[in-house]
């Protein structure tokens, strides 16, 4: 092999090598793009993630947003017949079984206002969420189910106005307590409210009858709480 031939072949090898590197990098980019795309899809599609307190039970889904919407409609309907310058809230719990069957138990409507009369109780004792939490504890203590067939127990608390800071700080432990009361770790709590600034939001002190605009499912917001396990 002449020196020229040798140099020519070495050059060819280098080119082949660099072409290989470019193809490898393009493949890497493709893989990253595919992953990024599916991550974005998962993030946008609320029904395919568990971020809204949803879970699969043998192919059947529990839809937390849909349940919060039912409670919101119920509270709105109640307000139309019972004008009130305070909040209305509602809760429910749904037992989802492995065979796909469900059992839903809604609470009565709970009015919420500041406690200014009973000095032995905190100011938020009379908030709707607190009343609903007490109702849930009583109900779940008396609820029996076969833990072998239970796929999930989904608890939703809904409020027409934003949850106050005092309640928010207390809610951190609510799921853990309800799990203890119901004697299952498969209990999932989610708190929902009407998002302030949306067409569905209103101030009960100014509009005790509501606004007359039907509550929209998209205007509901799941409150972010770092629940203790």
Tokens 């609820």, residue located? 143
| Segment near Zn ion (CB under 5 A); pick from 5-13, 103-111, 116-124, 192-200 | 116-124
Cβ-based nearer residue to Zn ion, 132 or 140: 132
Choices 28-36, 86-94, 162-170, 198-206; region in contact with Zn ion by CB under 5 A: 162-170
User: Is residue 159 at the binding interface for Zn ion, with CB under 5 A as the rule?
Assistant: no
Name the E strands within the chain.
Answer: 55-57, 60-62, 87-97, 102-106, 110-112, 150-159, 187-194, 220-222
By CB under 5 A, is residue 164 in contact with Zn ion? yes
CB-based closest residue to Zn ion:
167
For Zn ion, which residue of 74, 127, 179, 222 counts as binding (CB under 5 A)? 127
In the list 95, 157, 167, 189, the residue contacting Zn ion (rule: CB under 5 A) is 167
In angstroms, give the least distance from the CB of 142 to Zn ion. 26
Beta-bridged to residue 91, according to DSSP, are 157
For residue 192, the minimal CB distance to Zn ion (Å) is 14
Does 124 contact Zn ion by CB under 5 A? yes
Provide the minimum distance between the beta carbon of 125 and Zn ion in the complex, in angstroms, as a whole number. Answer: 9
**Which of 114, 116, 118, 141 is closest to 128 using CA atoms?**
114
Which residue reads 């595919």 in tokens?
A: 34
SS (H, E, C) 171-221: HCCHHHHHHHHHCCCCEEEEEEEECCCCCCCCCCCCCCCCCCCCCCHHHEE
Give the nearest distance from C-beta 43 to Zn ion in angstroms. Answer: 30
Sign of the C-alpha dihedral computed for residues 156, 158, 83 and 80 taken in this order: negative
What does the binding site for Zn ion look like in residue numbers (CB under 5 A)? 124, 127, 164, 167
């Amino acid at each position: 092999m002449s020196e020229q031939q040798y140099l020519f072949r070495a050059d060819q090898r280098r080119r082949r090598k660099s072409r290989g590197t470019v193809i490898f990098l393009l493949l890497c980019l493709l893989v990253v793009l595919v992953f990024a795309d599916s991550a974005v899809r998962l993030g946008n599609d609320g029904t395919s993630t568990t971020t809204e307190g949803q879970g699969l039970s043998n192919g059947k889904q529990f839809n937390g947003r849909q349940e919060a919407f039912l409670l919101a409609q119920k509270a709105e309907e109640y307000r139309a017949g019972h004008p009130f310058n305070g909040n209305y809230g509602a809760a429910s719990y749904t037992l989802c079984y492995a065979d796909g069957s469900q059992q839903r138990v809604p609470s009565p409507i709970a009015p919420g206002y500041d406690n200014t009369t009973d000095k032995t109780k905190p100011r938020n004792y009379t908030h709707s969420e607190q009343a609903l939490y007490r109702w849930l504890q009583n109900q779940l203590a008396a609820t029996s189910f076969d833990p072998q067939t239970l796929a999930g127990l989904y608890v939703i608390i809904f409020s027409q106005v934003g949850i106050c800071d005092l309640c928010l700080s207390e809610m951190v432990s609510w799921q853990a307590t309800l799990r203890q009361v119901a004697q299952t770790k498969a209990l999932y709590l989610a708190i929902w409210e009407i998002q302030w600034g949306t067409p569905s939001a209103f101030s009960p002190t100014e509009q005790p009858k509501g606004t007359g605009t039907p509550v929209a499912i998209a205007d509901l917001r799941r409150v972010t709480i770092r629940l203790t396990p």
